[in-house]
Chains A and B, each alone.
Chain A
Amino acid sequence: MFNSSILTIITFFPLLGVLVLLVLDKDKLSTIRITAFTASLFNFFISFYLYFNFTSETAGMQFSVKKTWIESLGISYHMGIDGISLFLILLTTFLTPLAILSSWTAITEKVKGYYISMLFLETGMIGVFVSLDLFLFYVFWEAMLLPMYFLIGIWGGPRKIYATIKFVLFTMTGSLLMLVAILVLYFMNYSFTGAYSFDLLEINKIPIPLGAQFWLFAAFALAFAIKVPMFPFHTWLPDAHVEAPTAGSVILAGVLLKMGTYGFLRFCLPLFPNAFMDFVPLFSALAIIGIIYGALVCIRQDDVKSLVAFSSVSHLGFVMLGLFTLNLQGVEGGILQMVNHGISTGALFLIVGMIYERRHTRLIAGFGGLSRKIPVFAAFFMIVTLSSIGLPGTNGFVGEFLIILGTFKTNVVYAVFAATGIILAAVYMLWMYQRIMFGKITKPENENLKDLNWREKIILIPLILVIFWIGVYPKPFFVKMEPSVKSLIENANVKYEENKLFGESFYKNSQQMKQIKKVVSDQWSVTSYMSTIAKNE
């Protein structure tokens, strides 16, 4: 009973917080802050239930709930999670309270609206990760844009309006084309099964002709590639990040970007395996360009925040490279790296926010020698910097190592290029750290900086703990995600062969194909199907 409603509760619990916030007086700032924080923290505790009750014995969807939503169109309220989405949900519920806590003193205007947006955003993000119905997914995907739009547009920096509109328009360009592709899939499913359904698990079962796969994949991939963002669709990211308030950047980097990579795994690979595999060279190349280009741009940044923003382009390049290896190591490394990036880059943005609150500048040139004045801050900053580079013992190492290992198996050249990204990361991160923290204090403003207060420590300590946890003992993560990743890759390979064999002719002679399909789905493997034919003959 609880198992089937837990996802609904986690998704919509923040809205309960919104309801409470709505009735609160807008001048009672601390009550508003505490309410928002409690709501998100409580949601984090609820999400523990997922972690502890998640079984790694099955690759299927767990905690699933399926109810009819809009009957006439075959739209269902279908939610469920597997080893891929589990950690992204935990990441979301983990980062949101921290982000809310970090805006305690940074946000002083329109406080109520700010926290309402944050909580709406949390609902939208979790909804994206739990939806198993394409329509439901799309609703959350789009609905989540609006709170982010407000977060950047109202509480952002000087060029906020430009940044926020650019963010919305970029994202929507992709997602509207994806909507068309979803509709096409919907009717393909209808013409094959005779039933209207947006259910992902149903649509997964139908074979899709190769030509159609190409276009459908292109539409989905564009939406996700913009979100990731892959080179050359990344131009919205630096603007959005630099203008967004700290918490907005944390959520944007920590969770929103993962929706793109998650989309590739959840939708593109199972639905269009053939197109996916045909596109591997292109996407790997783009990922590598992203890694190196992002890193090179980072070296030249004057502004810490835009440096961290561009480093996201580089890190997400690693994730994409891992996903497109299509082997166990690469994909698992990619998923883990999604979490890692959320933790490390989230922490970096928080740290940048903290120093910005003190000095009201983010220019690297405005700092220097801070380590002597604010040693605790320096220590935290160092750990996070190292984790972002991928030093052994921190989370970044595990993810990047697996990705490169997976890449080596498929293509040595890719791996060699990708590995230079890690070196470049060390260059720009350490150089940045050195310029800010070491040397002599050149600016008089930096003389009287205050070190971290208890609230800021509370924000950073959990992040540091997770950094080391994943770095030292990542096994629980892999145990939970392995069955799902394995079956994802296996199913994709089976479907790849199957589509190749029959894909083109499926719709020409659908009655006969239905029979073939039945045999195939009974056996669920092409080889056994071939042997059945051989026996019959």
Chain B
Amino acid sequence: MDWSIPQINFQLVLPEIIITCFAILILILEPLLSKDKKNLLAHLAWIGIMIAFIANLKLWDLMETTFSDMFIVDNFAIFFKFIFLAGSFLIVLVSIGYLKREEMVHGEYYSLILFSTLGMMLMASSFNLVIIFLGLEIMSISLYVLAGFKRDDLRSNEASLKYFLMGAFATGFLLYGIVMIYGSVGSTNLEEIIKSIAFQKGGTDLLLWAGIGLLLVGLGFKIASVPFHMWVPDVYEGAPTPVTAFISAGPKAAGFAALLRVFLFSFVTIKVDWTVIVWVMAVLTMTVGNVVAIAQSNIKRMLAYSSIAHAGYVLVALVAGKEAGVSSVLFYLLAYTFMNIGAFTVVIALGRKDAENTDLDDYSGLGTRHPWLAIFMMLFMISLAGFPPTAGFMAKFYVFSAAVKSGFVGLVIIAVLNSLVSVYYYLRVVVIMFMRPPVPEAKPISLPLGSVLVLLISTWGVLQMGIFPQSLLALAMLSVSSIF
């Protein structure tokens, strides 16, 4: 029997290799360092992310596949990896102060963040359903642990367990879906799937449709779309706040990366058929997210529902499809990463060791107590609400224009009415901060250097993408050609 190891171009997986190495390095060093030196691991983590970022940069415009066509490096994947790495970088920075405050400086935290990032990167680069599954698992299992990282906090434990149980189900669905698709078309390679569907004359096979449905369930869970959103509020509320911010940015983007790659590449020939389902999903997701967010009195839960609503807007872009739709998703997710992590950073800054202070009432008079913090929060809130001249507006505008371009005017009208609803609860935070009398504070807040950096970087991102979006828009447009 004659067999050989296939040619592998390791340069293409360099960013992933770097992340893995640093994650393992942190794990190895963790028991060797004394307690007060464990902060070094955090620095190791962000340095690793920076190096991976640069390695990723080098791959730009290098459209290639490796590992027997399982792994693809194209601009689409690279753009997504930028989003993941930027998100993880910000989270690592903001976690340094948080872990110190909560007295739980453990090195494996950073290691888990890196592993989770690795999973996302695999999902963005997958050219095979199996790799999507692998990436999703690496990402999710790290997240389950991270969600329960406050070991002696009941809510954190609950969040972790809930996330794990539901996530495990969702992964099961995803795997079933992959199996059925394999059963129908005989391959898990994305390109083979296109060919087989064409051969099937437009995909009339019931097995294929069952597979597509289950795939949508599995990925819909990760992006927090209705009706697979039940875990979101509890997990967001219970998990340590930096982890919540992390979950809301990276994994959601990774879910969309996989969703876009599979649905707009492999299933593009039968788009007309699945568009109906996604259309309904988008409407439900936006509406439920926005309407329920109004009723929340806890800011983490509010942001959880807002994150559901934002998933809905992105689904609008998925319905739109085409180049404009995909590039608007890229732009949107990048903008969302900045504004959401920025908002959570303010939430973290207001917390204490014994009290998280996440009730909306805790924000009363923040504008008087900490004007700068309140101004940052206001900026992120108006960006999330979609006021110009912020990234949130530009991103929404781009998504809606893509949808109008593809002729989904009705969907866009529903979407803008939804963003009207969202204005109410985002501005309520601003009302509470600036228009209510201040509440007395137990202890003065401390703003570690890491958090300040994150706030500044997010603010830069929000304003840059809102006022001078040209360069990033152009980049997002260049990133989608390989899909079509």
Check if B420 sits within 8 Å of A176, measured CB to CB. Answer: yes
Q: How far is the CB of B372 from chain A (nearest CB, A)?
A: 11
Residues in B neighbouring A183, C-beta threshold 8 A: 400-401, 404, 412
Check if A176 sits within 8 Å of B473, measured CB to CB. Answer: no
Residues in B neighbouring A153, C-beta threshold 8 A: 431, 434-435
Check if A145 sits within 8 Å of B404, measured CB to CB. Answer: no
Check if B409 sits within 8 Å of A71, measured CB to CB. Answer: no
Check if B416 sits within 8 Å of A177, measured CB to CB. Answer: yes
Within 8 A of B (CB), among A35-87: 69-73
A139–B368 CA distance with the chains assembled, in angstroms: 29
A350–B431 CA distance with the chains assembled, in angstroms: 27
Q: How far is the CB of A358 from chain B (nearest CB, A)?
A: 26
Interface flags, B417-437, vs A, CB<8A=1, else 0: 101100110010001001100
Q: Which secondary structure dominates where chain A touches chain B?
A: helix
Check if B404 sits within 8 Å of A180, measured CB to CB. Answer: yes
A441 at the interface (CB under 8 A from B): no
Within 8 A of A (CB), among B395-412: 397-398, 400-401, 404-405, 409, 412
Q: Which residue from B401, B409, B420 sits with its C-beta under 8 Å from A186?
A: B401
Check if A73 sits within 8 Å of B431, measured CB to CB. Answer: no
Check if B473 sits within 8 Å of A172, measured CB to CB. Answer: no
Residues in A neighbouring B398, C-beta threshold 8 A: 73
Count B interface residues, CB 8 Å: 31
Which of A99-107, A160-168, A486-494, A496-504 lies at the binding interface?
A: A160-168
Residues in B neighbouring A164, C-beta threshold 8 A: 431
A405 at the interface (CB under 8 A from B): no
Check if B404 sits within 8 Å of A187, measured CB to CB. Answer: yes
B470 at the interface (CB under 8 A from A): yes
Check if A179 sits within 8 Å of B434, measured CB to CB. Answer: no
Within 8 A of A (CB), among B187-222: none
Q: Which residue from A135, A169, A187 sits with its C-beta under 8 Å from B420?
A: A169
| Given A168-B423, A179-B397, A183-B412: A161 in contact with B473 (beta carbons within 8 A) | no
Residues in A neighbouring B388, C-beta threshold 8 A: 138-139, 142-143
Check if B469 sits within 8 Å of A145, measured CB to CB. Answer: no
Interface flags, B349-372, vs A, CB<8A=1, else 0: 000000000000000000110000
A179–B416 CA distance with the chains assembled, in angstroms: 8
A: interface residue count bin? 20 to 34
A340–B431 CA distance with the chains assembled, in angstroms: 34
A149 at the interface (CB under 8 A from B): yes
A146 at the interface (CB under 8 A from B): yes
Q: How far is the CB of A415 from chain B (nearest CB, A)?
A: 38
Within 8 A of B (CB), among A178-195: 179-180, 183-184, 186-187
A367 at the interface (CB under 8 A from B): no
Residues in A neighbouring B409, C-beta threshold 8 A: 180, 184
B382 at the interface (CB under 8 A from A): yes
Q: How far is the CB of A142 from chain B (nearest CB, A)?
A: 5
Q: Which residue from A72, A150, A165, A184 sits with its C-beta under 8 Å from B434?
A: A150
Residues in A neighbouring B434, C-beta threshold 8 A: 150, 153-154
A143–B382 CA distance with the chains assembled, in angstroms: 10
A71–B472 CA distance with the chains assembled, in angstroms: 11
Within 8 A of A (CB), among B79-120: none
Check if A71 sits within 8 Å of B420, measured CB to CB. Answer: no
Residues in A neighbouring B416, C-beta threshold 8 A: 176-177, 179-180
B448 at the interface (CB under 8 A from A): no
Within 8 A of B (CB), among A97-154: 110, 113, 135, 138-139, 142-143, 145-146, 149-150, 153-154
A69–B469 CA distance with the chains assembled, in angstroms: 9
Count of A-B residue pairs with CB < 8 Å: 78
B262 at the interface (CB under 8 A from A): no
- What residue in chain B is nearest A186 (Cβ atoms)? B401
- What residue in chain A is nearest B368 (Cβ atoms)? A110
B253 at the interface (CB under 8 A from A): no
A169–B417 CA distance with the chains assembled, in angstroms: 11
A527 at the interface (CB under 8 A from B): no
Within 8 A of A (CB), among B369-407: 382, 387-389, 393, 397-398, 400-401, 404-405
A173 at the interface (CB under 8 A from B): yes
Residues in A neighbouring B405, C-beta threshold 8 A: 187
B224 at the interface (CB under 8 A from A): no
Residues in A neighbouring B387, C-beta threshold 8 A: 142-143, 145-146
Residues in A neighbouring B63, C-beta threshold 8 A: none
Q: How far is the CB of B480 from chain A (nearest CB, A)?
A: 12
- What residue in chain A is nearest B421 (Cβ atoms)? A169
Residues in B neighbouring A110, C-beta threshold 8 A: 367-368
Check if B404 sits within 8 Å of A73, measured CB to CB. Answer: no
Check if B431 sits within 8 Å of A180, measured CB to CB. Answer: no
B295 at the interface (CB under 8 A from A): no
Check if B470 sits within 8 Å of A72, measured CB to CB. Answer: yes
Q: Which residue from A72, A142, A160 sits with its C-beta under 8 Å from B435?
A: A160
Check if A184 sits within 8 Å of B424, measured CB to CB. Answer: no
A145–B389 CA distance with the chains assembled, in angstroms: 12
B62 at the interface (CB under 8 A from A): no
Check if A184 sits within 8 Å of B404, measured CB to CB. Answer: yes
- What residue in chain A is nearest B398 (Cβ atoms)? A73
A177–B415 CA distance with the chains assembled, in angstroms: 10
A342–B416 CA distance with the chains assembled, in angstroms: 32
B439 at the interface (CB under 8 A from A): no
| Given A146-B387, A180-B404: A169 in contact with B413 (beta carbons within 8 A) | no
| Given A153-B434, A161-B431, A168-B423: A70 in contact with B470 (beta carbons within 8 A) | yes
- What residue in chain A is nearest B394 (Cβ atoms)? A70
Residues in A neighbouring B477, C-beta threshold 8 A: 72
Check if B470 sits within 8 Å of A154, measured CB to CB. Answer: no
A143–B389 CA distance with the chains assembled, in angstroms: 7
B474 at the interface (CB under 8 A from A): yes
A177–B404 CA distance with the chains assembled, in angstroms: 13
Check if A73 sits within 8 Å of B435, measured CB to CB. Answer: no
Residues in A neighbouring B424, C-beta threshold 8 A: 165, 169
Q: How far is the CB of A273 from chain B (nearest CB, A)?
A: 22
Residues in A neighbouring B423, C-beta threshold 8 A: 168-169, 172
Q: How far is the CB of B476 from chain A (nearest CB, A)?
A: 9
Residues in B neighbouring A161, C-beta threshold 8 A: 431, 435
Within 8 A of A (CB), among B427-484: 427, 431, 434-435, 469-470, 473-474, 477
Q: Which residue from B397, B413, B473 sits with its C-beta under 8 Å from A72?
A: B473
Q: How far is the CB of A287 from chain B (nearest CB, A)?
A: 27
Residues in B neighbouring A154, C-beta threshold 8 A: 434-435
A151–B188 CA distance with the chains assembled, in angstroms: 59
A97–B234 CA distance with the chains assembled, in angstroms: 51
Check if B393 sits within 8 Å of A142, measured CB to CB. Answer: yes
A164–B430 CA distance with the chains assembled, in angstroms: 12
Residues in B neighbouring A177, C-beta threshold 8 A: 413, 416
Within 8 A of B (CB), among A186-219: 186-187
- What residue in chain A is nearest B412 (Cβ atoms)? A180
Check if A172 sits within 8 Å of B420, measured CB to CB. Answer: yes
Q: Which residue from A113, A138, A168, A180 sits with its C-beta under 8 Å from B427?
A: A168
A165–B405 CA distance with the chains assembled, in angstroms: 32
Residues in A neighbouring B404, C-beta threshold 8 A: 180, 183-184, 186-187
A73–B400 CA distance with the chains assembled, in angstroms: 13
| A69, A169, A183: residue with the most chain B Cβ atoms closer than 10 Å | A183
Check if A176 sits within 8 Å of B435, measured CB to CB. Answer: no
A143–B434 CA distance with the chains assembled, in angstroms: 18
A165–B382 CA distance with the chains assembled, in angstroms: 14
16 extra interchain contacts, Cβ-Cβ under 8 A, other than A72-B477, A146-B387?
A69-B470, A70-B473, A73-B398, A110-B368, A135-B397, A142-B393, A145-B387, A150-B434, A153-B431, A153-B435, A154-B435, A165-B427, A177-B416, A179-B397, A179-B416, A184-B409
Among all A-B residue pairs, the 10 with the closest Cβ atoms: A176-B416, A139-B388, A183-B404, A72-B473, A153-B435, A70-B470, A142-B388, A183-B401, A143-B388, A72-B474
Q: List 9 A-B contacts (CB under 8 A).
A: A70-B473, A71-B470, A139-B389, A149-B427, A150-B434, A160-B435, A180-B413, A180-B416, A187-B405
Binding site for B on A (CB under 8 A): 69-73, 110, 113, 135, 138-139, 142-143, 145-146, 149-150, 153-154, 160-161, 164-165, 168-169, 172-173, 176-177, 179-180, 183-184, 186-187
